[in-house]
Structure 1
């Protein structure tokens, strides 16, 4: 399966590969920001802890939704 995925990436044009990298970057960005909101103790945003955790989880869920939608759109 991994071999098929790598072969599929090699067949893509330069534009498609760039969009793949950009999509992965934004997935990681939202995921890391969500983790930062949850675990960063001295967050420079004045929020109660429960709201920080809720917002962090929302960002993490959103990052996975973006990842699944992006992966399904590039399945062909």
Structure 2
């Protein structure tokens, strides 16, 4: 039981890998929040119709989830 914990701890990520993972999470949250802002914040200074605002917001949210999925897949491949 303790030997399996030790082997997992010995395979820690490098500082660069951890930094890039955290940066990827930050950009996922940034795109997600920006998409939500475009959809729901009416006073946002964008001269777009309501339908185009929703389309742009959904596009940004979809892109954020695409980045998140790629980040998780890359993280799993680096762990192996």
TM-score w.r.t. structure 1 length?
0.85
Q: CA deviation at 1:43?
A: 1.1
What count of residue pairs does the alignment treat as equivalent?
69
The reply to whether residue 50 of structure 1 matches residue 51 of structure 2 is: yes
Cross-structure match for 2:62: 61
Q: CA deviation at 1:62?
A: 0.4
Distance 2:70 2:18 in 1: 16
Q: CA deviation at 1:25?
A: 0.4
Q: CA deviation at 1:17?
A: 0.5
Distance 2:50 2:43 in 1: 11
Cross-structure match for 2:4: none
Q: CA deviation at 1:54?
A: 0.5
Q: Residue 42 of structure 1: SS of its match in structure 2?
A: coil
Listed as ranges, the gaps of 5+ residues in structure 1 are: 1-6
Cross-structure match for 1:20: 21
Q: Residue 55 of structure 2: SS of its match in structure 1?
A: helix
Listed as ranges, the gaps of 5+ residues in structure 2 are: 1-7
Cα RMSD after superposing both structures: 1.6
Distance 1:39 1:11 in 2: 41
**Runs of 4+ that moved beyond 4 A:** none
